Structure 1
Amino acid sequence: MGINIGICETEAKNALCRELRSTVVRVHIDDPTGFEDLVQYEDVVDLKTAKKAVGDWEAFIKRNRINEETDAVYMSKVKKDEDIALLAPLAKKVCTGWVPMEGVPEDRKKDLMAVASKDDIITGWDQLEFDEMNEMCAKCPLSWDKGRGCIGAFGPNNSKLPEIAAKYGCTITASAPRSAELHIIFSPDDAEKLLREIVVLKEALPKEGKVYVNRYKGPVERMEAVAKISVAERCGWFFF
């Protein structure tokens, strides 16, 4: 998969996505105990019951534009009034586990965030379409990767750049594989140190051979761009 480098956008005051990434829209919890008044429920008809009730299943999913691979019929997806009237009496309320965060008191938000896993938290940023994300990234002053965003490639797992960096005492660059593995977040002070390492590496790579200059020019430039953003915005950064 390789190693990448990025910044902590929510710490950067000028990041256009900061507010969206910081706004939790909804969370998913495995156990609704204690949150029964907040969790969402869905009216659902099991597949066997629904197929028996509607008769012509193919016609039903076509007119309601329901995915043919659905595992049940979710009433919120049924569009035709006659089908709603037919299936509504057969539906059962099923807990979805999702909790909309708008209007939830702060103390209960904290409780929800404590039990929700990171992968079960949806922010305003997550709800954007890819085209909207790309457009915002292109306009963002923190988009250091030539307008493509604030995440870029450091190199493959077998990159020799960390080995070369270690040879010249560039400890942060040398630590990239291990830092990515340990999910280490570097500080703006570390970024200042990285900028000093960049100077050393730019002088060292020609000594190692032209092939390494060509191969690692890009990663060195990307590290430099990240470090400058980190120092200017006083935000963290990381390898991953």
Structure 2
Amino acid sequence: MGINIGICELEAKSASCAELKKEIHKVMLTDIKGFEAAAEFDEKVSLEEAARLFPDWEAFVKRNRLNAEADAVYLEKIKNDDDMAVLKPKAVRTATGWVNLSKLDATAKKKAVEASAPENRLTGWDLVEFDEMNKMCSECGLSWDKGRGCIGAFGPDNGALPEIAAKYGCPIIASVPESAKVKKRFSPEDGKKLLAEVDKLNAVLPDEGKMAVRRYGGPLERVGAVAKVSVDNNCGFFFF
């Protein structure tokens, strides 16, 4: 397993994605009670029922270009109008758990967001096309990973760099494995300290041998890039 490092991008005013990530469009809830009017539903027919309605199953799947491994037949996937007419009366309407915030007033929207977990929110950033997302990341001032974005690899979780850092009195890099476990957030002030640690370790790494230089020169370069972005943009960083 490897350890990654990222910028706390929402703390930086210059982040290309910040406003989009703050725009929450939908939330996934375990209980949609009270939000039914804005909830999204699936209309589906069980595989058993659909197979009974369409004995020539292969032909049915082929003409509608369905995934043969789906857990049910979802009406939104049906392309043949005649098949839709047969399936519609047998369809069961079930809540997906998603709630469309645009259909709620401000008070209800706030309640829905508070009832959702952060990872169960669909933001404006999630709706950006992949190529456009890559372009925005590459042009963003927080992009430290050679134009690939503000999140990248630190190194393996069993590497010796933290041990070397501890040996030379560099507490932030020494604590990386533990910090990654709890996703500890470091401040821009920590970024200044991290820059100093990187300078110190770059100076002493040759004393640890050529292998250490080859193995850990890259991670130190990446950590230094993150620290610089953190300081320059007054935002934190974290390992995970």
TM-score range, shorter chain: over 0.9
User: 131-140 or 147-156, which moves further after superposition?
Assistant: 131-140
1:33 counterpart residue number: 33
- Asked whether the equivalents of residues 37 and 103 of structure 2 are also in contact (C-alpha less than 8 Å), the reply is no
> C-alpha separation between the residues in 2 aligned to 1:18 and 1:121?
15
Q: Within the alignment, does 1:90 sit opposite 2:107 as a pair?
A: no
- Aligned pair 1:119/2:123, yes or no? no
Q: Greater shift after overlay, 134-143 or 67-76?
A: 134-143
Number of residue pairs matched by the alignment = 240
Alignment of 1:90-239 (within 5 A): 90-239=90-239
Displacement after TM superposition at 1:42 (Å)? 1.9
Structure 2 contact 8–235 (Cα < 8 Å) conserved: yes
1:2 is displaced (CA, Å) by 1.3
Separation in 1, partners of 2:50, 2:70: 12
Return the alpha-carbon distance in structure 2 between the equivalents of residues 32 and 46 of structure 1.
23
Cα separation, partners in 2 of 1:192 and 1:103, compared to 1, 3 Å = farther
> What is the RMSD of the two structures over their aligned residues, measured on CA atoms?
1.6
Tell me the equivalent position of 2:16: 16
Q: TM-score, normalised by structure 1?
A: 0.93
For residues 104 and 71 of structure 1, the distance between their equivalents in structure 2, rounded to whole angstroms, comes to 31
| CA pair 8-218 structure 1, distance change in 2 beyond 3 A | same
Q: Distance in 2 between matches of 1:214 and 1:223?
A: 15
Deviates more, 1:148-157 or 1:216-225: 148-157
List per-residue Cα deviations over 1:150-176 (Å, max 9, x = no partner): 112211111111111111111111010
Aligned partner of 1:80 in structure 2 is 80
SS in 1 for 2:61: helix
Q: Which amino acid aligns with 2:151?
A: I
Task: Give the deviation of 1:62 after TM superposition.
Answer: 1.2
Letter in 2 for 1:173: I
Cα displacement (A) at 1:134: 2.4
TM-score in terms of structure 2 length = 0.93
Alignment of 1:68 onto 2:51: no
Q: 1:215 Cα shift?
A: 1.4
Aligned counterparts of 1:229 and 1:106: Cα–Cα separation in 2: 36
Paired residue secondary structure (2:141): coil
Secondary structure class of the residue paired with 2:99:
strand
Q: 1:133, CA displacement in angstroms?
A: 2.8
Q: Distance in 2 between matches of 1:120 and 1:60?
A: 34
Q: Could you tell me how far apart the structure 2 residues matched to 1:131 and 1:58 are?
A: 36
Stretches of structure 1 lacking an aligned partner (at least 5 in a row) = none
Report the Cα offset of residue 121 of structure 1: 1.9
- For 2:194 and 2:11, the matched residues in 1 are separated by 19
1:71 CA displacement = 1.1
C-alpha distance in 2 between matches for 1:58 and 1:119: 38
Residue 4 of structure 1 corresponds to which residue in structure 2? 4
Any conservation in 1 of the 2:206–2:212 contact (CA below 8 Å)? yes
Secondary structure of the structure 2 residue equivalent to 1:152: strand
Query: What is the SS of the residue equivalent to 1:96?
Result: strand
Secondary structure, counterpart of 1:148 in structure 2: coil
Identity %: 54
Distance 1:136 1:54 in 2: 47
What are the ranges of 5 or more consecutive residues in structure 2 without an aligned counterpart?
Answer: none
